[in-house]
Amino acid sequence: MIESGVKIWHLAQVREGAVLGRDSIIGRGAYIGAGVIVGQNCKIQNYALVYEPAVLADGVFIGPAAVLTNDTFPRAVTPGGELKSGADWVPVGVTVGEGASIGARAVCVAPVSIGAWSTVAAGAVVTRDVPEFGLVAGVPARRIGWVGRAGVPLRRQDDQWVCPESDDRFEELADGTLREIIK
């Protein structure tokens, strides 16, 4: 189902059963797998590959040539040498939270969850879950900081993390997560 206001550029492939939320943009040559769910106001850039059963919340950004995989142990053939079919494996997905961004050429190896408002740096390879507001980079991706809703890295100020754009404030919890301080 393609909701109102969706823009799909040429050479993009949107498979059967995919849901594209209102006002989303699918870039040139992008692939959206069968049954993938894309929220409202998402941007999936040129040549990005989003394999089923991925679920993207509202406001997600997928950078150019980024890949969201769906097979933990990929093989073209069975142990007996026969070409694998859909019945020979169970797809697993990537879940991306509201407002999260995945940079150009990043790879998210399913099954993983990318937390709301987090940022995956360009070229990163995500092999484990990313916390909300987490900033991850590298191969394999590791958390290197925190970001706010504006996407700007947060700065440490006394016992809080502060967004230099919005002045939103957060506290880091003992379990390695971030909690917004409501004003």
Cβ proximity of 42 and 23 under 8 Å: no
Sequence-distant (6+) residues with CB within 8 A of 11 are: 28, 29
pLDDT value of residue 183: 74
Name all domains of the chain by residue range, CATH numbers in brackets.
Answer: 7-144 (2.160.10.10), 148-183 (no CATH)
Residue by residue, what is the 3-state secondary structure of 96-158?
ECCCCEECCCCEECCCEEECCCCEECCCCEECCCECCCEEEECCCCEEEEEECCCCCECEEEC
pLDDT in tens, 59-85: 999 999 999 999 988 999 999 999 998
pLDDT in tens, the chain (183 residues): 899 999 999 999 999 999 999 999 999 999 999 999 999 999 999 999 999 999 999 999 999 999 999 998 899 999 999 999 888 889 999 999 999 999 999 999 999 999 999 999 999 999 999 999 999 999 999 999 999 999 999 999 999 999 999 999 999 999 999 999 987
Q: The pTM is what?
A: 0.95
